[in-house]
Structure 1
Amino acid sequence: MATLAHSTDNYTNTANTSWLATYKNYVAKAEFNRFGWAVSALAIQGCILSPALLLIMSNFGGGDWQFLVSMLCFLLVLVPILSAFPVKYIFPTFATSLVLHLLMIAIDLL
């Protein structure tokens, strides 16, 4: 007969639960789905963020510097993807681009 109780040897308590350790663990697990993350980042950047900023710039008036920053942010996301860098480089570049786009959209709307 099989036992009903399982041992708890698989549970480990580590004191290293900082946000950086959590991020590194998440990135290590996300590396398996690198293609999906790369496509998602590029689709959000190219199909949502950049067109939304350009539409808001044309309606509310934006400077040339905003267009330049938008294109540089697009390249900031595109270069690590085309260079086949690991996910640990794609996540921060996309986050930087997302924050800059949202900041420029807020500047135009306000």
Structure 2
Amino acid sequence: MATLAHSTTAYTNAPSANWLTSYKNFVARAEFNRFGWAVTALAIQGCLLSPTLLLVMAYFKGGDWQFLTSMLCFLLVLIPILSAMSVKYIFPAFATSFVIHLTVILITLL
């Protein structure tokens, strides 16, 4: 006689431990605190990165392209936040803006 409940352990796939799966799991868990992540990204962008770049530009005679890049990067972070997009759009926008800001600051300093 056949059993009524079958074990499905043979059919389950072990989750791969690559960075993309870890990132997707992190974003899924972070969606609950989207407001906190958005405020943190905006605070770092508006209170640390942009003023630091403007001060470096003022002391070391930065160009207009640096100011334009700074403002576009600020908008890159602000638009997903104000349009209430999910965290999976806020994180990459903030990471891109962070890298661009640090690159422009280092270019100006060197």
Pairwise TM-score range, normalised by the shorter structure: 0.7 to 0.9
Where do residues 1-110 of structure 1 align in structure 2 (5 Å cutoff)? 14-110=14-110
What is the TM-score when the length of structure 1 is the normalising length? 0.87
Distance (whole Å) between structure 1 residues aligned to residue 15 and residue 41 of structure 2:
32
Gaps in structure 2 of 5+ consecutive residues: 1-11
Query: Which residue in 2 is equivalent to 1:4?
Result: none
Gaps in structure 1 of 5+ consecutive residues: 1-11
The number of aligned residues is 100
What is the TM-score when the length of structure 2 is the normalising length? 0.87
Distance (whole Å) between structure 1 residues aligned to residue 87 and residue 14 of structure 2:
25
Using the TM superposition, give the Cα deviation of residue 48 of structure 1 relative to its aligned residue in structure 2, in angstroms: 0.4
Using the TM superposition, give the Cα deviation of residue 14 of structure 1 relative to its aligned residue in structure 2, in angstroms: 2.1
Distance (whole Å) between structure 2 residues aligned to residue 109 and residue 77 of structure 1:
24
List per-residue Cα deviations over 1:8-63 (Å, max 9, x = no partner): xxxx9824111000000000000000000000000000000000000000001111
List per-residue Cα deviations over 1:62-109 (Å, max 9, x = no partner): 110000000000000000000000000000000000000000000011
For the aligned residue pairs, the C-alpha RMSD in angstroms reads: 1.5
Distance (whole Å) between structure 1 residues aligned to residue 42 and residue 59 of structure 2:
25
